[in-house]
A and B are shown apart, each in its own frame.
Chain A
Amino acid sequence: MAFPPEHEIHRRRLGRNVGVGVTLALFIVLVFALTVVKVTRGDPMQGFDHSVRPELAIEEEGQ
């Protein structure tokens, strides 16, 4: 039996998918905006990993 495409449950699913999509898109925009702000303000954006970062070590000694 063909299921009528305009069934209420399809609308609900569409609403849910659109809601999740819009939320994710807004989240991406927010993370991008945060990145722009942090980079342009010159916030410390790096930490120690597996390689030596002399610039960080000097900064810590100075504190």
Chain B
Amino acid sequence: MSDTRAFEAPGEAGFGDYVQLLKPRVMSLVVFTALVGLLVAPVGVHPVIAFASILFIALGAGASGALNMWWDADIDAVMRRTKSRPVPSGKVEAGEALAVGLALSGLSVVMLGLAANWLAAALLAFTIFFYAVIYSMWLKRSTPQNIVIGGAAGAFPPMIGWACATGSVSVESLLMFALIFMWTPPHFWALALFMKDDYSNAGVPMLTVTHGRRSTRNHILIYTILLAPVAIGAAFTSIGGPVYLTAALLLNAWFLIGAWRIWRRDEAVAEADSYATEKSVFRFSLYYLFLLFGAFLAEAALKPYGLGGW
């Protein structure tokens, strides 16, 4: 009997499909920024507790990804970039994604509370709530500022990592939060510029759809300008230092040049070279974040030798 049913259900999910529900690529950024937040904190953490904390932060991020896939299955099916995700492709049922998301949310928050502390767990719970409910269910389909406000969800991991180590929130962790928060809009708007019709077909009110491409180009430039003082300002806190300052100055100059080049172009020019500038700025923005957080890490690594920090 069960054999017959199995034969009728060729879409049955494999283990890898459930892993895909957790958005492993987004998770890698979460793991990295949370790890940096934990390692640059002035309090040492036992390696086992540090490993467990990062694992449960990543699991929480994955859980919110699964909840997002459950809620957004309809628009994921329309968008080229997302239509092969496990739910729209029929490998995993939407209800399963919901169950996986809820179960892992509860597990990750409780385990982080037990492994590290309850402030970190509360921040993780708020992050999952923010991404799944505030961003996915509410903002994403209702306002072109979805990326701006929703970006907060992606900005929490270093703050949670810091809270795991110190049990508190500080200027440094708030600046790491602000850095990712300000970086998110130009990063996603650059993507929205060359993912031309994806968002409009899906009815997602991205800035490119509601306010047009000219306005999006203006916004990218404005947010990149606003990002620079946040990124450079972090250099003058306890987690910054000469290495970070040098990296921040160079990377922000580069990012600003990229944003200015995007701002200078119009659609005709962009179409002519298949959005080469927009694509390269989008790619660079990923390196930008990895390198800046890498510079925080370098400062922390150099400190024992009397080199890091001011």
Q: Is the CB of B48 within 8 A of A33?
A: yes
Q: Is the CB of A37 within 8 A of B46?
A: yes
Question: Which of A10, A15, A36 contacts B15, CB < 8 Å?
Answer: A15
Q: Is the CB of B115 within 8 A of A34?
A: yes
The answer, yes or no, to whether B29 is at the interface (CB within 8 Å) is no
CA–CA, A19 and B100, complex, Å: 15
What are 7 of the A-B contact pairs (CB < 8 Å)?
Answer: A3-B4, A3-B6, A12-B12, A15-B15, A33-B48, A34-B48, A34-B114
Binary per-residue interface labels of chain A (12-40) against chain B in the complex, 1 for a CB within 8 Å, 0 otherwise: 11011011100000000010011011000
Question: B7: which A residues are within 8 A, CB to CB?
Answer: 3, 7, 9
Q: Is the CB of B52 within 8 A of A13?
A: no
CA–CA, A15 and B4, complex, Å: 20
Question: B16: which A residues are within 8 A, CB to CB?
Answer: 15, 19
The answer, yes or no, to whether B49 is at the interface (CB within 8 Å) is yes
**Cβ < 8 Å to A, chain B residues 108-150:** 114-115
The answer, yes or no, to whether A41 is at the interface (CB within 8 Å) is yes
Question: B15: which A residues are within 8 A, CB to CB?
Answer: 15-16, 18-20
Which residues in B have some Cβ–Cβ distance to A below 8 Å?
Answer: 3-4, 6-7, 9-10, 12-16, 18, 46, 48-49, 51-52, 55, 114-115
Q: Is the CB of B14 within 8 A of A37?
A: no
Question: B6: which A residues are within 8 A, CB to CB?
Answer: 3, 7, 9-10, 13
Q: Is the CB of A34 within 8 A of B49?
A: yes
Question: A20: which B residues are within 8 A, CB to CB?
Answer: 15
CA–CA, A41 and B18, complex, Å: 36
Question: A34: which B residues are within 8 A, CB to CB?
Answer: 48-49, 52, 114-115
CA–CA, A8 and B49, complex, Å: 40
Give the top 7 A-B pairs by smallest Cβ distance, nearest first.
Answer: A19-B15, A3-B3, A12-B14, A16-B15, A37-B48, A9-B6, A33-B48
Closest chain-A Cβ to B156's Cβ sits at a distance in Å of 23
CA–CA, A32 and B128, complex, Å: 26
CA–CA, A9 and B14, complex, Å: 9
Question: A30: which B residues are within 8 A, CB to CB?
Answer: 51-52, 55
* Known interface pairs A30-B52, A34-B115; A13-B46 also in contact (CB < 8 Å): no
Q: Is the CB of B52 within 8 A of A9?
A: no
Question: B18: which A residues are within 8 A, CB to CB?
Answer: 16, 19
Q: A16: nearest residue on chain B (CB-CB)?
A: B15
CA–CA, A32 and B38, complex, Å: 22
CA–CA, A16 and B161, complex, Å: 31
Question: A19: which B residues are within 8 A, CB to CB?
Answer: 15-16, 18
CA–CA, A34 and B56, complex, Å: 13
Q: Is the CB of A41 within 8 A of B12?
A: no
Which of B16, B48, B51 has the most A CB atoms < 10 Å from its CB?
Answer: B48
Closest chain-A Cβ to B100's Cβ sits at a distance in Å of 12
CA–CA, A16 and B4, complex, Å: 19
Q: Is the CB of A13 within 8 A of B48?
A: no
CA–CA, A3 and B15, complex, Å: 22
Closest chain-A Cβ to B48's Cβ sits at a distance in Å of 5
